[in-house]
């Protein structure tokens, strides 16, 4: 797919997806959702990619939410197509870790995009929120479901019912953001540092752990534990397990191949 609204770049084992509509603060329209989905698919089948970093161009917004003009003109039944939900399901279910590097506004669909990622790093000037009720609609790209799983049902209801926009520091305090960096120029280095730390681990183990966590978050604990048991069984059958345990015993750095 030819990308018009985002950039997909690769550096070693890291893929960078940059939302590239700074003139509209990286607003998310149907074309952009489709491109996000295509970029994630490309990362899924690229064996060299082990971590994905999603960020926004321009310095003013990670993603400021839906394109309001597109929302106003949309037909009612078109909402059932739900390309936003499907795109974010693909982000969440990608077998590789995804880091959201947030600078500026992450509102509405932008906040929902960040929550579909596994780890969120923001700058001190960033603002996050689900202000859809101000437009007479609700969060429709997974916000009513993912926000309560991240911050708890009470805080999720408060944020969604009021439409409040919160600071990066408050987002960190409630668990919506993992880490806050003071300066914008520190954001991508911090995201890259996190990615490199993950890349140094066994990629099969990281992938299986992510899947097990996601399954457990959406089912009862006994089903989650059963899935964990099967995931561990698969991990024990990998070459990475032999390499990891051998490297530890031989007091050397492991050279994981993802096999």
Q: Which residues are catalytic?
A: 112, 132
Strand, coil or helix: what is 182? Answer: coil
Helix (H, G, I), strand (E, B) or coil at 257: coil
End-to-end CA, the chain: 29
Structure token digits, residue 3: 């990308």
CB neighbours of residue 77 within 10 Å:
7
Coil/strand/helix, residue 190? helix
CA–CA–CA angle 23, 40, 149 (5° rounding): 90
Burial 117-145 (b: 16+ CB within 10 A, else e): bbbbbbbebbbbbbbbeeeeeebbbbbbe
Q: Report yes or no: 104 and 61 within 8 Å, Cβ to Cβ.
A: yes
Interhelix angle 239-249/203-217, nearest 10 degrees: 110
């Amino acid at each position: 797919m030819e990308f018009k609204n985002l950039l997909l770049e690769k550096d070693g084992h890291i893929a960078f997806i940059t939302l590239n509509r700074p003139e509209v603060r990286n607003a998310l329209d149907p074309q952009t959702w489709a491109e996000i989905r295509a970029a994630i698919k490309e990362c899924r089948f690229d064996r060299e990619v082990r971590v994905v970093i999603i960020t926004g161009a321009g310095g003013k917004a990670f993603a400021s939410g839906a394109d309001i003009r597109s929302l106003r003109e949309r037909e009612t039944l078109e909402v059932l197509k739900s390309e936003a939900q499907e795109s974010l399901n693909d982000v969440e279910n990608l077998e590789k870790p995804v880091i959201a590097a947030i600078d500026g506004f992450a509102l509405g669909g932008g906040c929902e995009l960040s929550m579909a990622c596994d780890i969120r790093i923001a700058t001190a000037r960033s603002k996050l929120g689900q202000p859809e009720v101000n437009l007479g609609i609700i969060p429709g790209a997974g916000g009513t479901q993912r926000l309560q799983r991240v911050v708890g049902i009470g805080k999720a209801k408060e944020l969604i019912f009021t439409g409040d926009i919160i600071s990066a520091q408050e987002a960190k305090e409630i668990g919506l953001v993992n880490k806050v960096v003071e300066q914008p120029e520190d954001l991508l280095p911090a995201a890259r540092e996190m990615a490199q730390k993950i890349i140094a681990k066994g990629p099969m183990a990281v992938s299986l752990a992510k899947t097990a966590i996601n399954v457990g978050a959406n089912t009862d604990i006994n089903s989650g534990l059963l899935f964990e048991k099967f995931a561990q069984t698969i991990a024990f059958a990998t070459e990475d397990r032999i390499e990891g345990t051998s490297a530890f015993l031989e007091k050397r750095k492991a050279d994981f191949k993802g096999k």
